Amino acid sequence: MGDGAEAGQHQVTAILDRGASFEGNLTFEGTVRIGGKFRGEIFTKDTLVIDPGADVEAQIEANIVIISGTVKGNVFARRRIIMHPPAILKGTVTSPSLQIEEGVVFEGASYMPK
């Protein structure tokens, strides 16, 4: 259950680790890892990694989104969305590339524009 090659290509800019929580708007450059609780909106032109155990309720807009935790909300990725178990996603995903591994729970809709 890795984060895939995509996460390994980017230096992590910030981490919201287990036990930490944040509510509000998060805008960043680089790669951000969330392992704790987040509520609000996330905007980046780069990569967002949601770790196992994370609890995110947000509208997300990023270049690449890698999900292994729980996400409730709409996710828009300009390049791709990758979901690894034990990910749970409830919402709408929009991306030209969507990868859902066996063991992931996805309740919602997906849109794949060209």
For the chain (length 114 residues), average pLDDT per consecutive 10? Answer: 49 82 92 95 95 97 98 98 98 98 98 90
Specify the pLDDT at position 9.
Answer: 53
Residue bearing tokens 């690449």: 64
pTM of the model: 0.89
Specify the pLDDT at position 65.
Answer: 98
DSSP three-state, residue 107: strand
Distance CA 62, CA 12 (A): 15
Q: Where are the domains of the chain?
A: 4-99
Specify the pLDDT at position 10.
Answer: 59
Distance CA 88, CA 113 (A): 23
Distance CA 16, CA 23 (A): 11
